Structure 1
């Protein structure tokens, strides 16, 4: 009788547990909506509108109220209405869905609060709610409003604000009266902007030819600086990305052009000669590009990924060089100083290069010479079969023992494997099971590699 009662009780308990599990709400599928490097740190927004950072934090640029470095992305606050971010050196600028802009980090020139002390948490800039596009420079900031006007503020020692002087400005100030600005990018002490008519305008430091005006000195008052927006080239520019003291711009035919300092081959023209006018990078068209502080990357239509400029060994690569033999790269996301982020066509993001302060977000501070899986970028897919793998999530995460796959009902799984941060295989399990026991693993950060008929998905998890 006791055995019968025990069996009945066990069945009843299992039924209750099953009901409780069924009542657990499904977790939202998380992916990165935008991500980029600053000076030794990562900042990005996930598809649920939350803000995440990692890496160097000496000036509070991680926004978590501390100055402690972090080697894995951690959420900043609890807000879930972040729309766009821009980072440069130790300062960040961010846009919310309500049209407000926020900044934090290094504040030496008063570009955040008007004072000079670091700002370790996001603080709103002004009260306007009609901001549309943002760009954070080394010590100054640019932003475009919904009406197409351009606004500037921050450090101005080299005239990067384009106001005709070198006076620091502590709050957003409109630049001229034009209302047709479309694209903006900022370097250390330089500003670049493209209008809707395809013309490119520059201002700021010109000591290394950054203004692209064909000389090494300014064409306005102020010595080597260009103090007011000056047009460069014709009217066929579509995009621009400023590095520290150089810049790369793209024309409508998708060719890339570069100018400025070239001490490590960052101009990609197979020399280390500084250029004061736009020079084409090779002859091919490019599908994406990114310029960092001496390091650059780009992709071509054949799905191949290239990098040039200073690498993690301190060696200058003078022309675009294949990162690896893969042909499924979608685009480069961001370049820093010896470190990079890029994404493949399936949405898998990879980071590699220098990592002395954990800026790759991989949970360590060691160099990663080759692209290492980081996380998933949000991708648009045509239908269920294409999207099924990207919809998979894990729970619980972190975990002590068992990991369960969510949203995998429509997949036929072939294998589940676990690798550590070095890529070493830790566990492997064949079959169509939608769970795996990881209790035997030491505490740490791992990747669950889900192999299905539709392809392979890599999911990061923490074993406690």
Structure 2
């Protein structure tokens, strides 16, 4: 039989006289003396305050309120016999942190582990190389040491991300490739996973996508343009006819953003007008307009207007007073003045809206000079039409052509460029070829003799890009150094002098160059850090560094 403390054991014989256990009797006496009241049974009514808390607080009806276990040596400390009593979750690693997944719920008492950044235990992507419009699915699984829910954030340097499908530990997202990619052929998709302690881990995926075939930087006769990585378009220099597209005719010595134009994929500067293609395949134009803007009028436009009827465009080129666009299907379209047959439609009729250039298909790149046009075929052939007074069509004659003719003797060509009255081609073996007018040595053959057929530029090997200005030429080599030749009146050759060069010289002070472009009397390069540098004429601020003197060496364009 279990014996309770202070219980009375049964006995045989006459019933003994009842008695109180010593402990209970002592407690009863003490309570009575300390109460200051005449209540001999303090815990049976609420007539007297609880003697253990004084007369200012009513008894809750619980014996010995305030002294949970007066007979316990640890009285006043609940559950003193249990380790860490008073710590509501002493057995939990997050003791003192009521909610481990809530960073604002309190501070750990030092008894549990500190939160750590989440980890990624699984990741995948459905493709690594895509064509325009193709989709790629990305998947990740994360882990948090405290098993708290994770937050997933996705970002892409180009293209379109769908809505992520996310659980507490996983996330899936679908990305759609853009028509083409600016600057490089790689797109970066970045995932950031964050836990409730605000600690994060990131992972980057890369996808190869088609690079935009059109130039992202361009020089007009006295103005310049550049597309930034986010697709915005910036312009600077001469603005007499609104060719900067900022709604004014004020000259700008530093870049200004062309308002209303986003998602630009290619840009071109003509004599006094400008063009841009967008990711949606439309083409926009602004500036001087004898029909070169393709909007059906001859009105000057100080802000971009859409070229009528063009869709699916992926690149543009601007001549003196005419314009070209390359379709994604390899067709070529032209509009503007056509007195020399530069529109290639078999006539010399000016066109205020685009017409298709006859007989061309599978074209991959375009170039436009003062009055002549060039097209590069996917098979490495070169086609030319328009003005041919100086042999700029390269067909061995000086007869103008209103329809495209193939430039003979050129195969394996991977790039073309057109100056005012000369033309250039880059072959896949790294050699550079030039033909046309040679007034200032722009053909780079050591003479000033005009050539009606292509001739190799001596001393230039390992080239990967070419550009043609007014009367000068440039070539970018595989080692990222630059060669230049031709007119140097405004120091557009970048060699520190103003002496014309009939053969190639190295441009000084520039490294890490990835692309090269040319204006009328100035030159532009794009470096591997996406900075644009310029040198040459700066009368109208076309170097874009905020200054106005002419004859600059390489300076960085002050783009944002």
Instruction: Name the TM-score, length of structure 2 as normaliser.
Output: 0.58
**Paired residue secondary structure (1:266):** coil
**1:196 aligns to what?**
378
**1:364 aligns to what?**
547
Tell me how far apart the structure 1 counterparts of residues 295 and 527 of structure 2 sit (CA, whole Å): 39
**1:294 aligns to what?**
471
Kindly state the Cα deviation for residue 98 of structure 1 after the two structures are TM-superposed.
1.1
Contact 1:305/1:329, CA 8 A, preserved across alignment: no
Tell me how far apart the structure 2 counterparts of residues 262 and 269 of structure 1 sit (CA, whole Å): 9
**Deviation readout 1:354-394 (Å, 9 max, x if unpaired):** 10010000101113532122257xxxxxxxxxxxxxxxxxx
List runs of 5+ in structure 1 lacking aligned partners. Answer: 1-27, 219-224, 377-459
Residue 307, structure 1, aligned to residue 484, structure 2: yes
Tell me how far apart the structure 1 counterparts of residues 394 and 359 of structure 2 sit (CA, whole Å): 24
2:224 aligned residue (42, 48, 53) = 42
Contact 2:266/2:314, CA 8 A, preserved across alignment: no
Tell me how far apart the structure 1 counterparts of residues 552 and 477 of structure 2 sit (CA, whole Å): 21
**2:443 aligns to what?**
267
Tell me how far apart the structure 2 counterparts of residues 90 and 291 of structure 1 sit (CA, whole Å): 17
1:176 aligned residue (358, 362, 367) = 358
1:94-243 alignment, distance < 5 Å: 94-109=276-291, 111-176=293-358, 178-215=360-397, 217-218=398-399, 225-232=400-407, 233-243=409-419
Residue 249, structure 1, aligned to residue 431, structure 2: no
Runs of 4 or more above 4 Å deviation: none
Kindly state the Cα deviation for residue 325 of structure 1 after the two structures are TM-superposed.
6.2
Tell me how far apart the structure 1 counterparts of residues 238 and 331 of structure 2 sit (CA, whole Å): 33
Kindly state the Cα deviation for residue 50 of structure 1 after the two structures are TM-superposed.
1.3
Greater alpha carbon shift after TM alignment, 99-108 vs 334-343: 334-343
1:326-365 alignment, distance < 5 Å: 328-365=511-548
Tell me how far apart the structure 1 counterparts of residues 256 and 292 of structure 2 sit (CA, whole Å): 27
**Deviation readout 1:417-439 (Å, 9 max, x if unpaired):** xxxxxxxxxxxxxxxxxxxxxxx
**Deviation readout 1:78-136 (Å, 9 max, x if unpaired):** 44222221111111111111111111111024543333331111000114431122211
Contact 1:304/1:325, CA 8 A, preserved across alignment: no
Tell me how far apart the structure 2 counterparts of residues 133 and 353 of structure 1 sit (CA, whole Å): 26
Tell me how far apart the structure 1 counterparts of residues 535 and 436 of structure 2 sit (CA, whole Å): 25
Kindly state the Cα deviation for residue 287 of structure 1 after the two structures are TM-superposed.
2.3
Kindly state the Cα deviation for residue 166 of structure 1 after the two structures are TM-superposed.
1.1
Tell me how far apart the structure 2 counterparts of residues 59 and 101 of structure 1 sit (CA, whole Å): 19
Larger Rg: 2
**2:78 aligns to what?**
none
RCO higher in 1 or 2 (8 Å CA, sep ≥ 6)?
1
Name the one with the larger strand percent. 1
- Cα gap change, 1:178 to 1:230, in 2 (>3 Å): closer
Contact 1:264/1:315, CA 8 A, preserved across alignment: no
Greater alpha carbon shift after TM alignment, 112-121 vs 179-188: 112-121
List runs of 5+ in structure 2 lacking aligned partners. Answer: 1-155, 158-181, 184-215, 492-497
- Cα gap change, 1:156 to 1:211, in 2 (>3 Å): same
Tell me how far apart the structure 2 counterparts of residues 375 and 67 of structure 1 sit (CA, whole Å): 20
Contact 1:111/1:155, CA 8 A, preserved across alignment: no
Instruction: Name the TM-score, length of structure 1 as normaliser.
Output: 0.69
- Cα gap change, 1:109 to 1:171, in 2 (>3 Å): closer
- Cα gap change, 1:109 to 1:349, in 2 (>3 Å): closer
Contact 2:224/2:519, CA 8 A, preserved across alignment: no
Contact 2:278/2:314, CA 8 A, preserved across alignment: no
Tell me how far apart the structure 2 counterparts of residues 194 and 78 of structure 1 sit (CA, whole Å): 31
1:274-289 alignment, distance < 5 Å: 274-283=450-459, 284-289=461-466
Kindly state the Cα deviation for residue 39 of structure 1 after the two structures are TM-superposed.
1.3
Tell me how far apart the structure 2 counterparts of residues 40 and 178 of structure 1 sit (CA, whole Å): 31
**2:149 aligns to what?**
none
Tell me how far apart the structure 1 counterparts of residues 273 and 438 of structure 2 sit (CA, whole Å): 25
Kindly state the Cα deviation for residue 189 of structure 1 after the two structures are TM-superposed.
0.5
Tell me how far apart the structure 1 counterparts of residues 523 and 359 of structure 2 sit (CA, whole Å): 37
Tell me how far apart the structure 2 counterparts of residues 188 and 210 of structure 1 sit (CA, whole Å): 10
